Amino acid sequence: MIAYMVKELAEEEGWEQADLFRVLICAGACLSFSTLEKPERLDVIKANDILARIPSLLSPDFGRGRPYAIRVGSGTRVLVVHVPVELAHMIQDYAKILRTSRNETCGLLLAHGLFMYLNGKRKLLKTQVELARQSREIDELVANRNRRQMENAKD
């Protein structure tokens, strides 16, 4: 279900599907890893290391030449998303902590990333609508003030 939502979003917004999947998994990882209650007790994942590595995964050079491009045979419903090795290790370690499979963990991270993306987009649109409303109100106030000044100047 989530995969179909991401595919539709990619088509609507002009993303390459594999790129959007990777970005959302990375975003979900940021959210999920930051909620670990006691990172100092975890041998395999240290929150500061993870948070420091995520931006490098999203740098402009990330995916240059599309080395992580999605490779899916025709007519299949299997979705393969290649992520950088370091991120794959972090996901595997996180899956161990959660005691889930890597696929389930990727699905969870994808869901968290999609939530963050759509929630951020919704807030941005609300802000744009509010700013447009405020701009119209200011324009009306300025127009009314100018009209009054012109009327006073005529008298």
* Residue 140 covered by a domain: no
* Residue 139 covered by a domain: no
Q: How far apart are CA 3 and CA 59, in angstroms?
A: 24
CB 64 within 8 A of CB 75: no
Q: What is the pTM of this model?
A: 0.62
Residue 140 confidence class, pLDDT cut points 50, 70, 90: very high
Helices 102-154 and 2-13 sit at what angle, rounded to 10 degrees?
Answer: 40
Domain range enclosing 99 = 2-121
* Residue 142 covered by a domain: no
Q: How far apart are CA 27 and CA 33, in angstroms?
A: 10
Residue 131 confidence class, pLDDT cut points 50, 70, 90: very high
What are the residues whose beta carbons fall under 8 Å from the beta carbon of 68, sequence distance 6 or more?
Answer: 18, 22, 81, 82, 83, 84
